Amino acid sequence: MLPDPESPTLLSRPPAISVDEYRQRREALMAQLPDNAAVVLPGAELMTRSRDSEFAFRQNSDFYYLTGIREPDALLVLLPGRAEGESVVFCQDRDPTMEAWTGRRLGAEGVVAEYGIEQAFENTDRDKQLLTLLAGRELLYLPLDNTEAVSVAEDALSDAQAGLRRGRPPLKGWLDISPLIHAMRLIKSDAEIALLRHAALISAHAHRRAMQVARPGLCEFQLQAELEHEFVWQGASGPAYSTIVGSGANACVLHYIENSAPLSDNDLVLIDAGAEFELYAGDITRTFPVSGRFSDAQRALYQVVLHAQQRAVNAVQPGGTLADIHQGVVYDLTAGLIELGLLEGEVQARIDDESYRRFYLHSTSHWLGLDVHDVGTYRLDEQTPRPLASGMVLTVEPGLYIPSDDDIPDAYQGIGIRIEDNVVVTNEGHEVLTADVPKQVDEIEALMAKK
């Protein structure tokens, strides 16, 4: 049933990540650094959208992971072993005029009191304090792709070279902090998994709503509106990435975000949409018939993708690898394409000559977390895929995209199907976070019949 506007239910929310957990993350990061090193990690800045209006602020995920702070223009400095405090944050100045326009700012006091940071300064004091804090540190760790961090390091080097602080060890250089933080972010804590579970639940509700509302004559953007309404209504900040609603052949465009076409009776519609809750992403894809009933050709192709997807989800367990899961999907999709007459010959031959790639050219999984395509390497080295371990979170999202080419039977031309779930690796195997939105043909048809 569609949610009743008279008695709507707000899904019960998981607790926020505790100040203690953020502190433990900073300590775990510092424990990996060599002696006499420091970390410099800027948060995100506001970005101009047009003239004097800005995009909604989204904190840098690495900065957020280590602090929980959501204000722009902040900078984290980690100084292992410093007696006055190892974690220092520079933040926006308190400013009554600005705060009258854009809301309360934490200020240095708020950062210390509310976020468990040991020492904080407002940005007005940054020039005076930052180089003093870094003086005598031999190695700096920073995100090398961040121009602000690199410029802090260059200033620290000039400062050291100017010999202002003779007798202290010289700054030898700087290294990338990102791989260390990203390796930590790859394994989610219980509190993070609870937030991801909630983002997935909101996303699932939104997909159910879109399935129930869909009918011929609506436009793709109207389904987008239904999904995003549900996200925000449930307290998500909005979509975790641009919502994809692709009907008919638009479903074959992998990153179709125009969402402008009318929905036609005979088409499938592919929706790839997920909510961002407390900065954690949901990422669900479902594909269903606008009419509420799959045609024979649509159902036949759908069952091929569903079979591959279910086997791939079942293969998620500690010690498995994304490479093996992808290979299994490629095998199942290729076998299905041969069975339907869209490819010819032996399964292995079509895998070896990569002819399946005409219909399936993306990979099956990516990590999921604070970022929809979350951080963490997929390989231990060139040859070795990373084994799955408890606490990793990933998507499983095989698809088939059939071009509208002359050599393809009419009934299959322009059909795009993807089915995507979010899965946590557990000690026992896995947990599917997105099971609340149907993917079996009969369940989808039954839900769509309940208008």
Smallest distance, Mn ion to C-beta of residue 272, A: 4
Catalytic residue among 49, 229, 357, 362: 362
Catalytic residue among 86, 192, 226, 397: 397
Chain length of the chain: 451
Instruction: Count CA atoms within 13 Å of residue 52 on its CB side.
Output: 0
Residue of 267, 276, 283, 332 interacting with Mn ion (CB under 5 A): 283
Give CA–CA dist 228/210, Å, rounded. Answer: 10
Residue of 192, 226, 267, 272 interacting with Mn ion (CB under 5 A): 272
For residue 430, CA distances in Å to 28, 317, 372, 419 come to 26, 6, 19, 18
User: Is there a catalytic annotation at residue 52?
Assistant: yes
152 or 306: CB nearest ligand GLY: 306
Instruction: Give residues 180-199 in contact with ligand GLY (rule: CB under 6 A).
Output: none
Catalytic residue among 226, 283, 374, 445: 283
Catalytic residue among 4, 6, 52, 405: 52
Residue 129: Cβ-neighbour burial (10 angstroms; 0-12, 13-18, 19+): middle
- Interface with ligand GLY, residue 283, by CB under 6 A: yes
Q: Which does 374 bind (CB under 5 to 8 A by kind): ligand GLY, Mn ion, none?
A: none
User: Is there a catalytic annotation at residue 307?
Assistant: no
How many of the other CB atoms lie within 10 Å of CB of 356? Answer: 23
Residue of 269, 342, 372, 448 interacting with ligand GLY (CB under 6 A): 372
Smallest distance, Mn ion to C-beta of residue 244, A: 7
User: Is there a catalytic annotation at residue 371?
Assistant: no
Give CA–CA dist 367/377, Å, rounded. Answer: 9
Smallest distance, Mn ion to C-beta of residue 256, A: 12
Give CA–CA dist 47/50, Å, rounded. Answer: 9
Smallest distance, Mn ion to C-beta of residue 303, A: 21
Which tokens belong to 55?
Answer: 């995009």
Q: Which does 287 bind (CB under 5 to 8 A by kind): Mn ion, ligand GLY, none?
A: none
Instruction: Give residues 407-446 in contact with Mn ion (rule: CB under 5 A).
Output: 420
| CA dihedral angle for residue 407, residue 411, residue 413, residue 417, rounded to 10 degrees | -130
192 or 283: CB nearest ligand GLY: 283
Catalytic residue among 4, 35, 255, 442: 255
User: Is there a catalytic annotation at residue 49?
Assistant: no
Give CA–CA dist 256/262, Å, rounded. Answer: 14
Give CA–CA dist 246/255, Å, rounded. Answer: 9
71 or 374: CB nearest ligand GLY: 374
Q: Which residue is nearest to ligand GLY (CB)?
A: 272
| Residues 330 and 439 sit within 8 Å (Cβ to Cβ) | no
205 or 286: CB nearest ligand GLY: 286
Q: Is 68 left (phi over 0), alpha (psi -120 to 50) or beta?
A: left
- Interface with ligand GLY, residue 397, by CB under 6 A: yes
Catalytic residue among 22, 401, 412, 430: 401
| Residues 301 and 359 sit within 8 Å (Cβ to Cβ) | no
Catalytic residue among 205, 326, 418, 430: 418
- Interface with ligand GLY, residue 371, by CB under 6 A: no
Give CA–CA dist 393/421, Å, rounded. Answer: 11
- With CA atoms as reference, report the closest residue to 245 among 211, 278, 281, 277: 211
| String of contacts with Mn ion for each residue 366-405, x by CB under 5 A | -----------------------------x----------
Instruction: Give residues 212-271 in contact with ligand GLY (rule: CB under 6 A).
Output: 241
Instruction: Give residues 410-429 in contact with ligand GLY (rule: CB under 6 A).
Output: 420
User: Is there a catalytic annotation at residue 352?
Assistant: no
For residue 4, CA distances in Å to 185, 225, 309, 430, 450 come to 38, 17, 33, 33, 13
Residue tagged 């509106």 (tokens): 225
Smallest distance, Mn ion to C-beta of residue 198, A: 18
Question: Which residues are registered as beta bridge partners of 422?
Answer: 395
User: Is there a catalytic annotation at residue 420?
Assistant: yes
| CA dihedral angle for residue 79, residue 84, residue 85, residue 88, rounded to 10 degrees | -70
User: Is there a catalytic annotation at residue 272?
Assistant: yes
| Residues 108 and 120 sit within 8 Å (Cβ to Cβ) | yes
In the chain, the N- to C-terminal Cα span, in Å, equals 7
Smallest distance, ligand GLY to C-beta of residue 265, A: 27
89 or 392: CB nearest ligand GLY: 392
Chain positions contacting Mn ion, by CB under 5 A: 272, 283, 285, 395, 420
User: Which amino acids are annotated catalytic?
Assistant: 52, 255, 272, 283, 362, 366, 373, 397, 401, 418, 420
Binding site for ligand GLY (CB under 6 A): 241, 272, 283, 366, 372, 397, 420
